[in-house]
């Protein structure tokens, strides 16, 4: 004879809808366009020193900008090659990063960027900020 089964579901079963340690924002884009957006915004911040964008995009690229400045502060050949690998078609940005931006932050260990809230965008009321180099 078989034993009667319980009608309640087991609570120890793993949930498939929880993904741990997955960081970052998707920004309603697939991976390729999203990474291209991050790279273009990072280059723009380094080239023009400030960019107006949405708050989510600014918060996402802040770490990328600071990582490039930290690499440039090292100043060795390996760091230069890493920056060139990140921005292969931007030799002027690489030169500016190593010759102008990195010496400016020689005494600072981190916190090279600042995000200033500007307001809401007309049309969809997305929060617009300005990300700038300190």
pLDDT in tens, 19-54: 888 888 899 999 999 999 999 999 999 999 999 999
CA distances from 19 to 14, 16, 22, 23 (A): 11, 8, 6, 10
pLDDT of residue 23: 86
- Token look-up 């690229």 returns 61
Domain residue limits, the chain: 31-133
Q: Read off the pTM.
A: 0.81
pLDDT of residue 111: 94
Q: Which fold has domain 31-133?
A: 50s Ribosomal Protein L17; Chain: A, (3.90.1030)
pLDDT in tens, 85-126: 999 999 999 999 999 999 999 999 999 999 999 999 999 999
pLDDT in tens, 8-26: 555 555 566 778 888 888 9
């Amino acid at each position: 004879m078989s034993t009667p089964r319980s009608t309640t579901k087991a609570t120890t079963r793993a949930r498939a809808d929880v993904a741990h340690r997955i960081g970052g924002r998707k920004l309603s884009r697939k991976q390729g366009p999203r990474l291209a957006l991050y790279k273009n915004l990072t280059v723009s911040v380094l080239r023009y020193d400030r960019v107006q964008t949405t708050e989510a995009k600014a918060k996402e690229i802040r770490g990328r900008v600071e990582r490039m400045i930290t690499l440039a502060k090292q100043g060795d050949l390996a760091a230069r090659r890493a920056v060139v690998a990140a921005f292969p078609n931007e030799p002027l940005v690489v030169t500016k990063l190593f010759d102008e931006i990195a010496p400016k932050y020689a005494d600072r260990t981190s916190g090279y960027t600042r995000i200033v809230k500007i307001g809401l965008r007309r049309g969809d009321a997305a929060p617009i900020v300005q990300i700038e180099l300190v």
